[in-house]
């Protein structure tokens, strides 16, 4: 099968391409990475093009034949950017797999959230990113009703080697420096994460069963940890002691521009992150690894790279110290 991947050289896209290539798919990646050849597996083709440049994209895809499209990169992507791809590759494709996000779901206090869980309305979307994901899903579901074979993947909190999001690295940085870890609330909120290689596999799996046509799947890990247990796990893996300080997230309202206090995570006062992934396991054969195994691998990579891969890395602790002062001083 010939697969066009939009965004195949960065974190999730890179792992999706690896999964496809290792299972015999012919992969062509559209990307804006000038060093793409070093990030793509042997045999994968790179097309240097910004997907937002519709005229050029149409030209570079002209005359090419693809059986499927895996759409991962957010450029930011909007419905016209998807439409130009569909128009360029033709309507004979066997599947269009789109990377959405678990952030499209409403937080309404009902857990676990299943794939059929209500989505946010556009006016409820907290950011342009979430608005775009909702708009793109609506566009693709409408195309699905017109006969286009689409599948939507909704990843949740991706972690793992090569991560560009300052998530698990945030905690490793602090644990290894004996810094206090600010834990929202009493630490009992549930937190669910998915390893990047497992989530990368889900895009390939979505191509391999007709049952996935017209469906959306939440893709993340199989386990939900409390924030408390999550910090304890990372401390154990890092061989460090977890000095946890619990705080009320409403304290952050005192700051005009609050910094990170629990890594680059979801809004900390929106309740649990608890998702039922049984549909993906049953229909796609999705089989995520344990958080312990995945984080152990991730910590090894973090040590090897000295934690320098995160663009938003924060080793200045002034903001956290201000929050700590509020917690201990009550001011």
Q: What is the pLDDT of residues 305-327, one digit of tens each?
A: 999 988 889 899 999 999 999 99
> Does 226 have pLDDT greater than 80?
yes
What is the helix (H) or strand (E) element at residue 4, kind and residue range? strand 2-6
**Of 6 and 271, the one with more pLDDT:** 6
The one-character DSSP state at 281 is H
CA 246, 250, 254, 256 torsion-angle sign: positive
Rounded to an integer, what distance in angstroms lies between the CA atom of residue 170 and that of residue 234? 11
Average pLDDT estimate for 108-122? 94
What helix, strand, coil percent values describe the chain, rounded to 5? Answer: 40, 15, 45
Q: Summarize pLDDT for 37-49 with one digit per residue, the tens.
A: 788 999 999 999 9
pLDDT score at 132: 97
Query: What is this structure's pTM?
Result: 0.94
How far apart, in whole angstroms, are the C-alpha atoms of residue 156 and residue 218?
A: 7
Separation between Cα atoms, residue 66 and residue 5, nearest integer Å: 10
Buried b (16+ CB within 10 A) or exposed e, 137-159: bebbeebbeeebbbbbbbbbbbb
Residue of 101, 3, 94 lying closest to 45 (CA atoms): 3
Largest CA distance in the chain: 67
CA distance 244 to 227: 10
Query: Which is higher by pLDDT, 273 or 321?
Result: 321
What is the C-alpha to C-alpha distance for residues 163 and 199, in angstroms, rounded to an integer? 13
The pLDDT of residue 33 is 86
Separation CA 44–CA 25 (nearest Å): 9
Report how far residue 276's alpha carbon sits from residue 190's, in angstroms, rounded to the nearest whole number: 13
Question: Cα separation of 276 and 282, whole Å?
Answer: 12
Tell me which residue of 148, 311, 21 sits closest to 9, measured CA to CA.
21
Q: What is the mean pLDDT of residues 107-112?
A: 90
Domains of the chain: 2-159+193-219 (3.40.50.720), 168-192+225-272+289-329 (3.90.25)
Q: Which residue has the higher pLDDT, 294 or 262?
A: 294
Phi, psi of 124 (to 5 degrees): -95, -10
Query: Is the model's pLDDT at 270 over the cut of 70?
Result: no
Is the pLDDT reported for residue 295 higher than 70?
yes
């Amino acid at each position: 099968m010939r697969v066009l991947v939009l965004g195949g050289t960065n974190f999730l896209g890179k792992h999706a391409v690896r999964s496809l290539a290792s299972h015999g798919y012919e992969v062509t990646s559209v990307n804006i990475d000038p060093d793409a050849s070093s990030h793509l597996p042997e045999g994968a083709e790179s097309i240097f093009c910004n997907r937002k440049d519709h005229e050029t994209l149409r030209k570079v895809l002209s005359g090419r034949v693809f059986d499927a499209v895996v759409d991962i990169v957010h450029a930011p992507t909007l419905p016209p950017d998807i439409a130009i791809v569909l128009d360029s590759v033709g309507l004979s494709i066997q599947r269009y797999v789109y990377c959405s996000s678990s952030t499209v779901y409403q937080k309404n206090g009902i857990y676990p959230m299943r794939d059929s869980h209500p989505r946010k309305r556009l006016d409820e979307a907290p950011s342009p990113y979430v608005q775009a994901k909702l708009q793109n899903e609506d566009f693709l579901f409408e195309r699905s009703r017109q006969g286009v074979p689409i599948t939507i993947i909704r990843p949740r909190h991706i972690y793992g080697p090569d991560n560009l999001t300052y998530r698990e690295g945030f905690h490793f940085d602090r644990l290894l420096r004996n810094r206090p870890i600010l834990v929202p609330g009493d630490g009992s909120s549930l937190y669910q994460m998915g390893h990047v290689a497992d989530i990368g596999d889900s895009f390939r799996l979505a191509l391999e069963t007709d049952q996935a046509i017209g469906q959306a799947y939440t893709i993340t890990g199989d386990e939900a940890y409390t924030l408390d247990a999550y910090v304890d796990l990372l401390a154990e893996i890092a061989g460090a002691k977890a000095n946890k300080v619990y705080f009320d997230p409403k304290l952050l309202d005192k700051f005009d521009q609050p910094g990170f206090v629990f890594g680059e995570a979801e809004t900390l006062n929106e309740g649990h992150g608890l998702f039922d992934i049984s549909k993906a396991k049953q229909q796609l054969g999705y089989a995520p690894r344990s958080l312990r195994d995945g984080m152990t691998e991730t910590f090894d990579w973090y040590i090897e790279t000295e934690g320098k891969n995160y663009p938003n890395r924060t080793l200045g602790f002034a903001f956290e110290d201000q929050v700590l002062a509020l917690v201990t001083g009550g001011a």
